Chains A and B, each alone.
Chain A
Amino acid sequence: MKQGRENSSAAVPIMDAEAIRRALQRIAHEIIEGNPQLSKVVLAGIPSRGVEIAQRIAAFIHRIENIDIETGVIDVAMHRDDVGTRPELPVVRASKLPLPLEERTVIIVDDVLYTGRTVRAAMDAINSFGRPARIQLAALVDRGHRELPIRPDYVGKNLPTSAAEKVRVRIGSAKEPDGVWVERT
């Protein structure tokens, strides 16, 4: 994250640390409500902020239900459809999912849901590990502008934006508090 940009006049704060905490706690309750068999649920975060968010939701579920829900990492870099067209090659990281997936519900967790292309890549990545019973989607922020028929099952905040804006999320930084900002570029 670029230092200090969220403090410039163009950055509008949307969520502070407390708002993020409440949103993730609510998502945890919704996941519990929607999945009677919690032991079959895997929270698969998309690096790097999705992984942090997945772990926080898992911690809330543990606090509420006293169940250690499984978490995983689903890296989408090698499943993207735009390699060779972007100036910067995405850094690939190892994915990690509990196996087999066949009986499980995999919940993809990301910070910002935008075009849906990242989620499409994540679903492809998950399918290369096996065939889960269900795939669901949780996002801290849904900013709209979908380019694919994809919708989230769990949303922290619906945030209408214009395509010219940028949504910045900071979560899990050792030095600075969590937050969500919108920047006009």
Chain B
Amino acid sequence: MKQRWNRKDLLGLHELSAEEITFILETADAFKEVGAREIKKVPALRGKTLVNFFVEPSTRTRTSFELAAVRLSADVINISASASSLAKGETLKDTARNLEALHADILVLRHSSAGAPQFLAQRLQASVINAGDGAHEHPTQALLDLYTIREKRGTIAGLHVAIIGDILFSRVARSNIFGLVKLGARVTLVGPSTLVPREFEKLGVEVSYKIDNVLPNADVVNLLRIQHERQRKEYFPGIGEYTRFFGLTKERAKLLKPDCLIMHPGPINRGVEIDSEVADGLQSVILDQVTNGLAVRMAVLYLCGGIAT
């Protein structure tokens, strides 16, 4: 049988083929079943050491990677930026090389600079998994979004997916765009023109500034969080105005098809990009995304960490 995976690193969906993405999703199917067992743990990565190296704060992604690694029987070490020698002026490369000298096999990296995971992947023998780099990519988030769509709708090709909100600063949006387009979905980006530049059309997607025109035709809406921490200038007049024009309010949700999926990568700003009633409603698959994130990350760790080096 032809080898379907031969990468030690997962840096982004941009460089993956549709076949590789599909193979990760199929592998995640197998690992999802482990979560339903009485003993939710398999020995696949026994003896391997995984370092969660989060230079930017994160709770859900770090926890999800940690739990995924534990369920694969790997040993896990967590390092945050403030607790690391980066705070003492050590370079990223030196910190990573020190981790490798301790025989770390897998490095899960979140960093505020785009390209940091690629930089390390080229210099380390260890597997490097991108857990979000700047505004570049967040591949495991997009994979779990793809997994959830495929699980709920059976397929991704031919579906119309609306990604709504802060596209400009969103690595989740970029990874989703790459993955969805490769798997044959139609993608429409929606948001204020300052946060959804027309340049995105070059990636093979549509751009709209009128949410009410898009919602009735969407099979999936993926709402992104307004990232206060990345906005150094004023991109829209205020939160209230954003909600009025682009928030998925209770009233606006009535425009959706009854089987349209509502997704959000979290953390949710309730009452800003989505109303509480909608986030907790029947069409919401937000918590399924969290559950599926575990299966997808187990698959990624197994595939990247399991290949012979």
Contacts and interface: CB of A to CB of B under 8 A. Distances in A.
Contacts of A89: 3, 5, 302-303, 306-307
A78 B44 contact: yes
A124 B308 contact: no
Which are the 8 A-B pairs with shortest beta-carbon distances? A92-B30, A128-B39, A94-B33, A78-B42, A78-B44, A94-B30, A83-B306, A89-B306
B308 A127 contact: no
A86 B38 contact: no
B4 interface: yes
Contacts of B3: 88-89
Contacts of B309: 84
A160 interface: no
Contact of A79 (B5, B32, B38, B42): B42
Interface residues of B, number: 31
Interface in A63-113: 75, 77-81, 83-89, 91-96
A83 B39 contact: no
Given A79-B43, A84-B305, 19 more contacts: A78-B43, A78-B44, A84-B48, A84-B307, A84-B308, A84-B309, A85-B308, A86-B308, A89-B3, A89-B306, A92-B27, A92-B30, A92-B44, A93-B29, A94-B32, A94-B33, A128-B37, A129-B37, A129-B38
Interface string A116-130: 000000001101111
Contacts of A92: 27, 30-31, 44, 299, 302
B306 A84 contact: yes
Contact of B30 (A78, A81, A83, A88): A78
A92 B30 CA distance: 6
Nearest to A101: B38
11 contacts: A77-B44, A78-B43, A83-B44, A83-B302, A89-B302, A91-B4, A95-B30, A128-B39, A128-B40, A128-B42, A129-B38
